[in-house]
A and B are shown apart, each in its own frame.
Chain A
């Protein structure tokens, strides 16, 4: 319990140790602690951001999906309409072709009938003449009666 120079020695040691701590212990550890705190804060902020980003992306994805479905529907509608149109056109064309063919065939048939009728007329005239010839062989002179015969032909 005596006082002596130990007191001053301890006094000096106190400041040397405190200086050492201040210089080499405190700053690096405080720096590490602060850095970790800011890292954690950054991490939390990033997580928040990621969460909002995710929500945004989900909304965008739904939008895209809806848009794709709409455009697909539109495409299908268009295709169906176009198909129906093509079908209608083809049907109309076919009808037209059939009608034209029918008209052509009818025309041809008419001409053929006319021709046949004329040929028949000639032949009937000839037959009549031949028959009359047979009957009147002697009495009728083809040359003298040519007018009569032509008149007859025209009447037939």
Chain B
């Protein structure tokens, strides 16, 4: 910060939580606003993911695989096995399994941005005049909900495709409580709640984990920033190193786990769309 006074803790945190936007967002929901930082990092990481995998795919041989090919194959076989166990239609798996793979690697990479020093990219951005930057796309509710919404659309698509529109409508009104005209409204309400709850929780879980993780990294960074030559601030500085190490190591688990959970839920929700009640 080149300004005359150092930012206070709350200024520091709220600055870090500010997105780079095209226009400043004033209301809670504003469809004319777009988060440029989220879009940049998510697209860049998504392209990185698919091109690295495409490189492996291009060189893939049925002979003895190299280490890189073997690593990609391990990932793909893991996803393929999970997909096979959850989605029972081989025709649907042709699209659903690649979706699960993409989701896993993409979200893993986006989560992994959390492990970069929390001030590194924003400070570099500030040098070229970009004053707000969030580098973890999955810590943006829009990104997480955008992906869970995509999964919802796939669920609806497969519901109609597998059961037919009439069949799906029948299910919407007769499951889970039974086929009776008095139960139709209750069934329908339950189904709608189920879809909304699935989608919101799907996105919110990822967003919540990553947002909280990012916030804790910021608080840890504040500890180190408190260094002022006194005893107490010295302890905080040591605390920064200790807590930062512990949290980063723990976060390796969290980012992988959250990516895996998002992928598994994607498969489970789409698998449910294939099953009639």
Contact = CB atoms under 8 A, between A and B. Distances in A.
Interface residues of B, number: 55
A25 interface: yes
A28 B50 CA distance: 13
B106 interface: yes
Contacts of B137: 10
Chain A at the B interface: mostly helix, strand, loop or mixed?
Answer: helix
Contacts of B248: none
Contacts of A13: 39, 42-43, 46, 146
A35 B60 CA distance: 11
Contacts of A2: 25, 27-30, 33, 141-142
Interface stretch (B90-98, B117-125, B168-176): B90-98
Contacts of B106: 17
B33 A29 contact: no
B104 to A, nearest CB: 10
Contacts of A7: 142-143, 145-146, 149
Contact of B29 (A3, A10, A24, A36): A3
Given A1-B141, A5-B33, A6-B142, A21 B39 contact: no
A26 B53 CA distance: 9
A9 interface: yes
Interface stretch (B73-81, B183-191, B216-224, B229-237): B73-81
Interface residues of A, number: 33
Contacts of A24: 50, 54, 57
Contact of A4 (B30, B47, B49, B76): B30
Interface in B28-54: 28-35, 38-39, 42-43, 46-47, 49-50, 53-54
B142 A3 contact: yes
Chain B at the A interface: mostly helix, strand, loop or mixed?
Answer: helix
A21 B42 contact: no
A86 to B, nearest CB: 70
A90 interface: no
A39 interface: yes
A17 B30 contact: no
A18 B96 CA distance: 9
B226 to A, nearest CB: 27
A154 interface: no
B98 A22 contact: yes
B56 A10 contact: no
6 closest A-B pairs by CB: A10-B146, A35-B62, A6-B142, A32-B60, A22-B98, A4-B33
26 contacts: A2-B33, A2-B142, A3-B28, A4-B34, A6-B34, A6-B143, A7-B142, A7-B149, A8-B146, A9-B34, A10-B137, A11-B150, A13-B46, A17-B50, A17-B102, A20-B50, A21-B101, A21-B102, A22-B99, A25-B101, A29-B56, A29-B60, A29-B73, A32-B65, A33-B73, A39-B63
Given A2-B30, A18-B98, 17 more contacts: A4-B33, A5-B31, A6-B146, A7-B146, A7-B149, A10-B137, A10-B142, A18-B95, A20-B102, A21-B102, A22-B99, A24-B50, A25-B56, A26-B98, A27-B57, A31-B60, A32-B61
